[in-house]
Amino acid sequence: MNKTVFFILVSAGLALAGAPRLRAQCYTFTHEHVDLLSVQFHAVSNSLSLMASDDDHGGAFYASNQCVVVCPESMKFALPAGTPMGNEGDPLWILPQNPYAGVPYVGVSAEPIAPGTFDDPLTIQLTRIEGPGHFLVWQTTGFGSFDLKMDTRDGIGSNDKLTPFVGAHEHHNWGFTTSGVYRVYFQASGRRPGQTTNIVSPETPFTFHILPLKPFEHWTATNWPCECDLTLIAPGADPDGDAGVNAIEYALGTDPKMAAGDAWPTVSLVTANGQAYGAMSYTRNKAATDCGYEVVAASSLFSTDWQTLTTVHETIHLGDTERITMRDTVPVGGGVQRFFRLRVRLAPPQPNTP
């Protein structure tokens, strides 16, 4: 009896047993006065750390993985001529150094540290950044006068720092050259009186959502609002251990924190014009507008000529997702073997470029 043997290559693989990762609490700063870089001294351990202090709600403290700062799209400005932040007309999203209604008022503080504990000033060093654009920090010192403190457009070096005084509190402008999710890493240091070496805090990331977010950024921010660990949130990460990386989970509309193998693509036989054909079915996340989907077929796993299937046999709408079945061009019969593969391409974020 003539038959066709079908093989399916699912890039997500088979599901493995795994427990869901619990979602951490995350506080979102949308309009509050927050000292995002509040330097803390721990006398018992003789150590420094950086935390966020919510000055509008009794000075509650948040670790960097417990909070995120949101900059609304209304704070996108076109730069005027004559500034060191970019060329005239360049866009810049700004969290301002002065209070602005409906926008986080972001400060830097060494107020919790008693005078005399450290030699003045302390140092908060910018160490690295993950995000689609560049990051700038400056103070406007007068009309047309700017004191640029941090600027990643020419790389990150020793001059990218803030120097708050012990017991003091200050505000700056925080600028971002494009929208998206940023994780900005800082490290605080200071020297105790009479000592010859500095006490240095751990490198600490803080998260900014500069609106509007791109679709995959929005998906990541929804699933892990404050998370900075790229082994969990990167497109190629697999936090639930089911062999389906985040890019695949996003594209298919599955839960990246819960292993689930029943959502992967499947193969079947379908009938068209009186003939039977192999077909692949997959689920598409309707919100994943930055994903490209391609079903390909070949007669050999080692073929260099995979054929892109273009015939949609069926589309079933399932609310936020849809189930799409793509039909092969080779009919069943003759002992032919067929391999099917779903390719998913996630549009990459724009890189940081000078």
Higher pLDDT, 242 or 176: 176
DSSP-derived letter for residue 301 is: T
Q: H helices within the chain, ranges in order?
A: 215-223, 230-233, 246-252
Q: Is the peptide bond before 212 cis (omega within 30 degrees of 0)?
A: yes
What is the mean pLDDT of the segment spanning 186-204? 97
How does 330-347 read in b/e, with b if 16+ C-beta sit within 10 Å?
A: eebeeeeebbbbbebebe
Q: Which two tokens stand for residue 32?
A: 């509050």
Predicted local confidence at residue 144, as pLDDT: 76
Higher pLDDT, 108 or 6: 108
Predicted local confidence at residue 164, as pLDDT: 97
Contacts of 216 (CB under 8 A, 6+ apart): 235, 247, 250, 288, 290, 291, 346, 347
pLDDT bin (cut points 50, 70, 90) of residue 328 is very high
Q: How far is CA 212 from the centre of its chain?
A: 13
pTM: 0.86
What is the mean pLDDT of the segment spanning 254-268? 88
Predicted local confidence at residue 243, as pLDDT: 87
Residue 290 has pLDDT above 90, yes or no: yes
Domain boundaries, the chain: 1-23+229-347, 27-226
Q: Distances in Å between the alpha carbon of 185 and those of 3, 130, 171, 178, 346?
A: 59, 8, 18, 18, 26
pLDDT bin (cut points 50, 70, 90) of residue 25 is confident
What is the mean pLDDT of the segment spanning 174-180? 97
Q: Minimal CA–CA distance to 137: which of 162, 100, 101?
A: 162
Reduced DSSP (H G I as helix, E B as strand, rest coil) percent helix, strand, coil of the chain, to 5: 10, 45, 45
Residue 350 has pLDDT above 70, yes or no: no
Q: What is the spatial distance between Cα 304 and Cα 318, in angstroms, rounded to a whole number?
A: 35
Long-range residue pairs from 31-35, CB within 8 A, at least 24 positions apart, any chain: 31/101, 31/102, 31/103, 31/104, 32/56, 32/57, 32/104, 32/105, 33/99, 33/104, 33/105, 33/107, 34/67, 34/69, 34/104, 34/105, 34/106, 34/107, 35/106, 35/107, 35/108, 35/109, 35/111, 35/169
Q: What is the mean pLDDT of the chain?
A: 90
Q: Minimal CA–CA distance to 183: which of 223, 210, 156?
A: 210
Predicted local confidence at residue 24, as pLDDT: 53
What is the mean pLDDT of the segment spanning 18-45? 82
pLDDT tens for 126-168 read 999 999 999 999 999 877 789 999 999 999 999 999 999 999 9
Predicted local confidence at residue 349, as pLDDT: 59
Maximum Cα interatomic distance, the chain, rounded to a whole number of Å: 91
Residue 11 has pLDDT above 70, yes or no: no
**Residue 135 near residue 182 (C-beta atoms within 8 A):** yes
Predicted local confidence at residue 5, as pLDDT: 42
Q: Minimal CA–CA distance to 254: which of 263, 245, 243?
A: 263
Q: What is the spatial distance between Cα 220 and Cα 223, in angstroms, rounded to a whole number?
A: 5
CA neighbours closer than 13 Å in the CB half-sphere of residue 248 = 26
Residue 42 has pLDDT above 70, yes or no: yes
pLDDT tens for 43-91 read 999 999 999 999 888 889 999 999 999 999 999 999 999 999 999 999 9
Q: What is the spatial distance between Cα 287 and Cα 290, in angstroms, rounded to a whole number?
A: 8
Of 8-12, 141-145, 170-174, 329-333, the range with the highest mean pLDDT is 170-174
Q: Specify the residue for token string 């005078």.
A: 115
What is the mean pLDDT of the segment spanning 209-221? 96
